[in-house]
Chain A
Amino acid sequence: MAKKIRILIAKPGLDGHDRGAKYIARALKDAGYEVIYTGIRQTPEAIVKTAIQEDVDFVGLSLLSGAHNELFPRVVELLRENQADDIIVFGGGVIPESDIPGLKEKGLAAIFTPGTSIKAVIDFIESCRSKIEN
């Protein structure tokens, strides 16, 4: 049987726009994944702590305030410091195209911008399955 994939959907920073995060969390749950949602206004430290405690395979970060260049890489960095860099981090929100290469360089596995279908997110997760199961 395929491994049950666990995903943490998290809202770093101070931004309260959680419509997207909650939609993704619920839609991924409906697609059969185990999903945990942190709620808004989480520090990168708190997100990493939850990710490790909950033994998740993915962390999905959602941010619409423009602080993604500072906060997304910080989560990746803290996971690495805690020897948890096997957890795959992806992000979404109002993120200008020009910021995406920089974020990927800093360890974000995928960035989803407005208008992304849930299928694209699921396809991405499934494309990582072999990495997780090894």
Chain B
Amino acid sequence: MPTSDKINAQRKKWEETTLKKVISRNPERKTEFTTGSWLPVERTALPEITTDDEYLEKLGFPGEFPFTRGVQPTMYRGRLWTMRQYAGFGTAEESNRRYKFLLGQGQTGLSIAFDLPTQIGYDSDDPHSEGEVGKVGVAIDTLRDMEILFDGIPLDKVSTSMTINAPAAILLAMYLAVAEKQGVRFDQLDGTIQNDILKEYIARGTYIFPPKPSLRLITNIFEFCAREVPKWNTISISGYHIREAGATAVQEVAFTLADGIEYVKAALNAGMDVDSFADRLSFFFNAHNDLLEEVAKFRAARRIWAKIMRDKFHAQNPKSQMLRFHTQTAGSTLTAQQPDNNIVRVAIQTLAAVLGGTQSLHTNSRDEALALPSEDSVRIALRTQQIVAYESGVTNSVDPLGGSYLIENLTDRIESAVWQYLDKIEAIGGMIPAIENGFVQKEIQDAAYRYQKEIEINERIIVGVNKFITNEETPKNLLKVDPELQRIQIQKTNAVKKQRNNQAVSEKLELLRETARRPEQNLMPPILAAVREYATLGEICGILRQEFGEYQESIVL
């Protein structure tokens, strides 16, 4: 609904008098102002919602459809978001120490970073793992590593998020097996696995299997958890990495929700009832620098998903219509130059996430453009969240920017641009063909290229990089992973292989192979059985690689 005639007439008058007088003397800094993702930004936004009915339809009340203002009625007045720092490096012992440090600093949930071999289903002694063991996360080969990782951390008391995708079923099985050993029941476990393979094909790169068997693994997890691990978030449908790859805010929401649609379709095709799994779907977004655009983005995402779930998939349970999400501040905005400036960037991004109504948040550390974060840097990042939570006052009201003319204007703009993408993707035949033919990657790359070019020609200012440059010394105290680590990890795994019942391992792996060949059967039980016998991650993925084949990247430049 456009702004009322009365206000429009007054605007015209203002433009011709007050504004014109000033602009003729002092022109504005630019001819056009846009958000970080090139959406037009009005000089002064005016009220566009003019009737009560429009208010109720577009915004409503927090905790109710369409959830624009938030998924809970009290939001942070009831409980603050979960402060969850993504961490993990080196061996399970070292990561276990870092988790205990973070919990001791007031962090309220764990977030496990696995190394790349683990994420791609290779053991530490695999030739593909050379140089990568323990680098960007912790190396996990067998259940033994997982036991060490959670040593002294009661799994019924923490919620744990695991960034694991292609082998998500296996790491979840290991977590369940650790819980068994701690005497914790599956229905007491709280946490999330990322389990979002489509964005791996698009942006993140840790895929193993082709789409069809990958989607089977995902729906098998949905089914298994609905029965056995009811509090578990079975997927975290992620726009974070899509944005990091250079997507705009609109693309981030559009491609993430399009992935979400694909997962819902897959589960429905597997015979599940929408309300039996949809309330366990969770999302993961990026908080970038443009504060107002980001707040609008989160609000738009909630409104669109609610409509998709209600109108397209006929979900009845309001929980199935709620878009709950984790947020991480934007690693790609951090600069190697003047790294302390990154603390400020992260603070702005933290505000964006909180004003946007996030359920949990990771704040990046100032030194991430240089190396893995040091303990000091991680502490500052966590303190940033705590300052926003306890000192800023923005937690006292639900959706405090709701009703800002500009925020509502941007929320509407983002929503309509996202629907355009969703229609286009549907016309292509859904997200899988849109990825396989490179459409999604090309859209992102074009945006990434435009963004970088703007920096190159100083059209987009990055403080300390292309303006306000200083000569500086290289920072010290960067964290380094011990290069000996790979050898130590291989020794540990070899020792496990000697101690375990190898006959039982072979039997369980054969059972897994048999199940893999029967698409109507659930893969979780045989995976859990193999994990309990200390079969390695690489052995389990090896069987599945033989049965399912491997995905080949479609290279788009």
Q: Which residues of A contact B (CB under 8 A)?
A: 13-19, 22-23, 25-27, 29, 37, 39-41, 43, 65-67, 69-71, 74, 94, 96-98, 113-115, 117-119
Query: Contact partner of A14 among B116, B370, B465, B557, CB < 8 A?
Result: B116
Whole-angstrom CA separation of A6 from B116 in the bound complex: 31
22 contacts between A and B (CB under 8 A): A14-B119, A14-B122, A14-B206, A18-B205, A18-B245, A19-B244, A23-B448, A23-B452, A27-B453, A29-B557, A39-B553, A39-B555, A43-B128, A66-B136, A67-B130, A71-B130, A94-B371, A97-B474, A98-B478, A114-B336, A114-B369, A115-B335
- How far apart are A74's CB and chain B's nearest CB, in angstroms? 8
- Across the interface, do A22 and B448 meet the contact criterion of CB distance under 8 Å? yes
CA distance A115 to B336 in the complex (A): 7
* Residue B204, interface by CB 8 Å: yes
Instruction: Specify which chain B residues have a CB less than 8 angstroms from the CB of A65 in the assembled complex.
Output: 116, 132, 135-136
Nearest-neighbour CB distance to chain A for B198, whole angstroms, equals 14
CA gap between A65 and B117 in the complex, in Å:
11
Smallest beta-carbon distance A134→chain B, Å = 30
CA distance A14 to B124 in the complex (A): 13
Cβ of B183: which chain A residues have Cβ within 8 Å of it?
A: none
B227 CB to closest chain A CB (Å) equals 33
**CB–CB A66/B481 < 8 A:** yes
Query: Cβ of B456: which chain A residues have Cβ within 8 Å of it?
Result: 117-119
1/0 per position for B363-386, CB-CB distance to A under 8 A?
Answer: 000001111100000000000000
Q: Give the docked Cα–Cα distance between A51 and B372 (Å).
A: 31
Q: Given that A16-B206, A69-B483 are contacting pairs, would A22 and B116 also be in contact in the complex, using a CB cutoff of 8 Å?
A: no
Closest A residue to B444 by CB, please name it.
A19
A13-B132, A23-B449 known; A41+B205 contact, CB < 8 A: yes
Does B131 lie within 8 Å of A115, measured CB to CB? no
- Chain B residue nearest to A37 (CB atoms) is B557
Q: Find A94's partner among B119, B203, B369 (CB 8 Å cutoff).
A: B369
* CB neighbors of A among B89-129 (8 A): 116-117, 119-120, 122, 127-129
Hey, which chain A residues are within 8 Å of B205, CB to CB?
15-18, 40-41
Note all chain B residues with C-beta closer than 8 A to A114: 335-336, 369
Contact of A22 (CB < 8 Å), options: B120, B122, B337, B445: B445
Complex Cα distance, B244 from A19, in Å, reads 8
> In the complex, what's the smallest C-beta–C-beta distance from A122 to chain B, in angstroms?
11
Q: Given known contacts A19-B244, A43-B128, A114-B336, is B371 in contact with A25 (CB within 8 Å)? A: no
Q: Which of chain A's residues have a CB closer than 8 A to the CB of B369?
A: 94, 114-115
Which residues 131-152 in B have Cβ within 8 Å of A in the complex?
Answer: 131-132, 135-136
How long is the Cα–Cα vector from A113 to B456 in the complex, in angstroms? 15
The chain A residue with its CB closest to the CB of B335 is: A115
CA distance A39 to B480 in the complex (A): 27
A-side contacts of B122, CB under 8 Å: 14
B243 to chain A: closest CB distance in Å? 11
Q: A residues within 8 A CB of B335?
A: 114-115
Contact B557 A26 (CB under 8 A): yes
Of A13, A14, A113, A118, the most chain B CB neighbours within 10 A belong to A14
Q: Looking at the complex, which one of A16, A29, A39, A96 makes contact with B370 (CB distance below 8 Å)? A: A96
The 5 closest A-B pairs by CB, nearest first: A16-B205, A70-B131, A67-B131, A14-B116, A97-B474
Q: Does A115 lie within 8 Å of B332, measured CB to CB?
A: no
Given contacts A15-B116, A114-B336, 8 further A-B contacts (CB under 8 A): A14-B119, A15-B205, A16-B205, A18-B245, A23-B452, A71-B130, A94-B370, A96-B478
Tell me, in angstroms, the Cα distance from A118 to B449 when the chains sit together: 12
Whether a CB of chain A sits under 8 angstroms from the CB of B200 is yes
Residues of B with C-beta under 8 A to A71:
130-131
Q: Tell me how far the C-beta of A93 lies from the nearest C-beta in chain B, rounded to whole angstroms.
A: 10
Indicate whether A16 sits within 8 Å of B200 (C-beta atoms), given known contacts A23-B448, A39-B553, A39-B555: yes
CA A43 to CA B130, docked complex, whole Å: 9
Query: Across the interface, which residues of A come within 8 angstroms of B132, CB to CB?
Result: 13-15, 65, 67
Q: Are A19 and B246 in contact (CB under 8 A)?
A: yes
